[in-house]
Amino acid sequence: MPAHDPDPARPAPAAAVACEAGAGPSATDDRSQRILPWLVAVGFFMQTLDGTILNTALPAMARDLHESPLRMQSVVLAYMVTVALLIPASGWLADRWGTRRVFVSAIGLFTLGSLLCALSPSLSFLVAARVLQGVGGALLLPVGRLAILRVFSHDEMIRVLSFVSIPGLLGPLIGPTLGGWLVQWATWHWVFLINLPVGLIGIVMTRRYMINARRPSGPFDARGFALFSLGVVLLSLALQGLGERAITTAASIVMVVAGLASMLAYWLHAARARRPLFSTALLRIPTYAIGLAGNLFSRLGSGAMPFLVPLYLQVALGYSPGAAGMSMIPSALGAISAKPFAPWLIKTLGYRRLLTGNTLLLGCSIGSFALSGPQHAPGWLLLQLGIFGLVNSTQFTAMNTLTLGALDERHASSGNSLMSVVVQLSMSLGVAAGAGIVLAFSGPVSAAPSADGHALAPALVAVLLHAFHATFLAVGGMSMLASLIFVQLRTQEAQVLEDVQ
């Protein structure tokens, strides 16, 4: 059961929120309040299970598709960029069609995409199937989180979001080990087939228990969506192309400038539009603006690590897929262990001190992987992964509640969608940046098709070790810069938010 005690007498969060008549529970149904966190957790679990299994399987997929394991980030980025592209529409779709209907469609598309990924005969087909997965993934967590914002009050939100995160963190706990085992004893195709039963269960539960909360919605801001999404895609593809060396530096610079121009054009449009995709009023909420900027920069490192670490273990340290998957368990356990204590830490230290200090710890924990290597005992690496999971999980909970906690009903849908876009964009930029840095330091070794570090000459293995170590230091340094954003929180602003929650 969820770690909260909903008050049946508490009124709905806003009168403007309606529940569609017919099948499904009502907006005030106690059962729907108890089940809703579990439903959102199912969607979160599907996403995290898919991502963590996939990262462990990338070297095996590279062997089968005759690609370099260091150049497989397109499989990861195709999903992330699609999610970032379509998330802006999630709030409007939920307002227009209702949370239950959109959530069921999202699970269905994600499950169908998983099936097509498993049937992929080539890298290009696999990337296309990942795009379809991304269409469903773009709606899963944002719509589920929006349903929570509309059902639960502010004082319940921290506890509910923390609970939702714990089942979702089972994905990172199960995924790497299961993915490594499937790759080692079956084929990489099964890492996608595992999503099918979870998706079917999610569809049945959602249709039966989730409320179909709706709000009166105006016309969709198609022009704003086109400008904003174009900026997101151009920025993501520019960094990806530069990292993979698929396009020239000049072309990447042109795409970056065009992407920034498109984003600027969107905000100029939003300042004048009657019903913009994302209201400029959101950025006038101090805690929301700081939380949004902090999410963007601190998640660069967090987004890169799930991609870098499994590659590092298999390509540079010569781990088998199964051993690499088992090694990721401490990170997931650390993340789960941190969740129950996150609300207490926020209350005790406050957002300003907690996020400033924890961001520095996050960067240090990422950079510390430069001190690992074949000469160290396995326990050292497991300790590093456990600390990283602990610090990273605390960071996510504090950033999410800081960013969303001050939103009222008018801004809940738009603000939730914008934060989800920023999270996905930051993670995709983190993967692209991490892949680009390790490619730059590895040089010609990056073209080697083998995913087994022991199949390379000792000198080439040394080059790979140096490349990964330098990448961990660079990515950790990027993450630490976000502390300069969180330190801008004023004590009175953070205190007001803590009192509300």
pLDDT in tens, 273-284: 888 878 788 888
For residue range 105-136, list pLDDT tens digits in order.
999 999 999 999 988 888 888 888 999 998 88
**Are both 119 and 213 inside the same structural domain?**
yes
* Residue 214, strand partner residues: 18
**Domain contains 132:** yes
Could you give the CA distance from residue 297 to residue 422 in angstroms, rounded to a whole number? 10
Phi, psi of 158, deg, nearest 5 = -60, -45
What is the CATH number for 467? 1.20.1250.20
- The least confident of 9-23, 78-92, 135-149 is 9-23
**Are both 128 and 208 inside the same structural domain?**
yes
- The least confident of 192-201, 240-249, 377-386, 436-445 is 240-249
Long-range CB pairs of 487-490 (<8 Å, 24+ gap) are 487/352, 487/356, 488/290, 489/286, 489/287, 489/290, 489/351, 489/352, 489/355, 490/286, 490/352
**Are both 83 and 128 inside the same structural domain?**
yes
**pLDDT confidence of 489, banded at 50, 70, 90?**
confident
**Domain contains 9:** no
Helices then strands, each counted (H, E), the chain: 20, 2
**Domain contains 414:** yes
Q: Is 383 left (phi over 0), alpha (psi -120 to 50) or beta?
A: alpha
Which range of residues forms the domain containing residue 241? 222-274
Q: What is the 3-state secondary structure (H, E, C) of 20-49?
A: CCCCCCCCCCHHHHHHHHHHHHHHHHHHHH
Q: Is 494 left (phi over 0), alpha (psi -120 to 50) or beta?
A: alpha
| Angle, vertex CA 392, rays to CA 415 and CA 325, nearest 5 | 120
**Domain contains 257:** yes
As to burial, measured by CB atoms within 10 angstroms (0-12 exposed, 13-18 middle, 19+ buried), residue 216 is: exposed
Could you give the CA distance from residue 343 to residue 159 in angstroms, rounded to a whole number? 7
Please provide the average confidence, as pLDDT, over all residues in the chain: 78
Query: Residue 20 has what pLDDT?
Result: 52
**Are both 242 and 289 inside the same structural domain?**
no
- Does 389 score more than 50 pLDDT? yes
Alpha helices in 368-457 (DSSP H): 378-404, 409-442
For residue range 439-478, list pLDDT tens digits in order.
888 765 555 544 444 455 566 777 888 889 999 999 999 8
- Does 144 score more than 50 pLDDT? yes
Judge whether 426 and 292 are in contact, CB under 8 Å: no
**Domain contains 3:** no
Q: How many CA atoms lie within 13 A of 381 on its CB side?
A: 20
Q: Average pLDDT for residues 289-296, to the nearest whole number?
A: 88
**Domain contains 136:** yes
Long-range CB pairs of 445-448 (<8 Å, 24+ gap) are 446/68, 446/70, 446/71, 447/68, 448/68
**Domain contains 10:** no
- Higher pLDDT: 77 or 472? It is 472
- Does 77 score more than 70 pLDDT? yes
**Are both 388 and 430 inside the same structural domain?**
yes
- Does 402 score more than 50 pLDDT? yes
Query: Residue 96 has what pLDDT?
Result: 80
**Are both 186 and 263 inside the same structural domain?**
no
**Are both 166 and 236 inside the same structural domain?**
no
Could you give the CA distance from residue 486 to residue 483 in angstroms, rounded to a whole number? 5
**Are both 349 and 452 inside the same structural domain?**
yes
**Domain contains 67:** yes
Could you give the CA distance from residue 192 to residue 116 in angstroms, rounded to a whole number? 9
Could you give the CA distance from residue 131 to residue 84 in angstroms, rounded to a whole number? 11
**Are both 241 and 369 inside the same structural domain?**
no
**Are both 337 and 371 inside the same structural domain?**
yes
Q: Average pLDDT for residues 191-215, to the nearest whole number?
A: 81
Query: Residue 137 has what pLDDT?
Result: 82
Q: Which two tokens stand for residue 486?
A: 């969180």
Query: Residue 265 has what pLDDT?
Result: 93
Q: Number of folded domains in the chain?
A: 2
Long-range CB pairs of 120-123 (<8 Å, 24+ gap) are 120/189, 122/65, 123/65, 123/67, 123/74, 123/75
**Are both 343 and 434 inside the same structural domain?**
yes
Comparing CA positions, the residue from 424, 390, 40 lying closest to residue 210 is 40
**Are both 326 and 446 inside the same structural domain?**
yes
* Whole-structure pTM value: 0.72
- Does 271 score more than 80 pLDDT? yes
Residue after which a domain boundary falls, among 274, 299, 314: 274
Comparing CA positions, the residue from 301, 366, 372, 356 lying closest to residue 487 is 356
- Does 167 score more than 70 pLDDT? no
Which residues have a Cβ under 8 Å from the Cβ of 196 and sit 6 or more positions away?
Answer: 111, 114, 115
- Higher pLDDT: 264 or 142? It is 264
Q: Average pLDDT for residues 322-331, to the nearest whole number?
A: 83
